[in-house]
Amino acid sequence: MSDREVGMSAGRPVRRQARGERRMAEILDAALALFAEVGYEAASTNRIAARAGVSPGSLYQFFANKEAIAQALSARLAADLGAAHAAAFDHVPVSDLPLDELIDRILEPLLAFGIARPGAKALLAGPDAPAPLAAATRPLQDAVLGRVAAVLGARVPGLPAAERDRAALVAVQIVRALTGPIAAAAGAERAALVGELKRALHGYLAPLENPP
Q: What is the pLDDT of residues 109-157, one digit of tens each?
A: 778 777 777 777 777 655 545 566 666 667 777 777 888 898 899 899 9
The residue type of 184 is A
Q: Does the pTM exceed 0.75?
A: no
The pLDDT value recorded for residue 62 is 94
For the chain, the 3-state helix, strand and coil shares in percent, each to the nearest 5, are 80, 0, 20
CA pair distance 73, 55, nearest whole angstrom: 20
Residues ≥6 apart with Cβ < 8 Å to 200: 174, 178
CB 45 within 8 A of CB 65: yes
Q: Output the pLDDT for position 144.
A: 77
CB burial of residue 106 (10 Å; 0-12, 13-18, 19+): buried
- The winner for highest mean pLDDT among 7-16, 31-40, 134-143 is 31-40
What angle do the packed helices 161-184 and 99-116 form, to 10 degrees?
50
Question: 175-199, pLDDT tens digit by residue?
Answer: 888 888 888 888 999 999 999 999 9
Check: CB of residue 182 under 8 Å from CB of residue 193.
yes
C-alpha 146/C-alpha 106 separation (Å) is 12
